[in-house]
Amino acid sequence: MPVTHRHSGYVFTDHTITVPLDHAVPGGRTIEVFAREVVAVDKEPSGLPWLLYLEGGPGNRGPRELPAWLARATRDYRVILLDQRGTGRSTPITRQTVTDLASPADDLRLFRADNIVRDAELLRAHLAGDRPWSVLGQSYGGFCAVTYLSLAPEGLREVMITGGLPSLTASPYDVYRAAYPRVLAHNERFFSRYPGDQQIADRVVDHLREHEVSLPGGDALTPRRFQTLGITFGQARRFDLVHHLLDEAFTGNGRLSDVFLRRVDSVVSFAEHPLYALLHEMVYCQGEASAWAAHRALDEFPEFDPERGGPVRFTGEMVFPWHFEEDPVLAPLRSSAEQLAAYTSWPHLYDPDRLARNTVPVAAAIYHDDMYVDREHSLVTAGAVGGLVHWITNEYAHDGLSRGPAVLDRLITMVRG
Nearest to 385 by CA among 192, 150, 51, 190: 150
What is the DSSP code (8-state) at residue 9? Answer: T
Half-sphere exposure of 101 (CA within 13 A, CB side): 23
CA 318/CA 327 separation, integer angstroms:
14
374 is catalytic: no
Contact of 401 with 162, CB cutoff 8 Å: yes
Contacts for 13-16 with beta carbons within 8 Å, 24 or more apart? Answer: 13/37, 13/39, 15/80, 15/123, 15/126, 15/127, 16/89
370 is catalytic: yes
Could you say which of 186, 207, 295, 398 is catalytic?
398
398 is catalytic: yes
Please calculate the CA angle 185-312-298 and round it to the nearest 5 degrees: 65
Could you say which of 83, 90, 107, 139 is catalytic?
139
Cα-to-chain-centroid distance, residue 395: 21
CA 172/CA 135 separation, integer angstroms:
26
Contact of 327 with 222, CB cutoff 8 Å: no
Could you say which of 119, 370, 374, 399 is catalytic?
370
Nearest to 381 by CA among 358, 355, 361: 355
In angstroms, what CA-CA distances link 180 with 1, 231, 234, 293? 49, 12, 12, 12
State the catalytic residues: 139, 370, 398
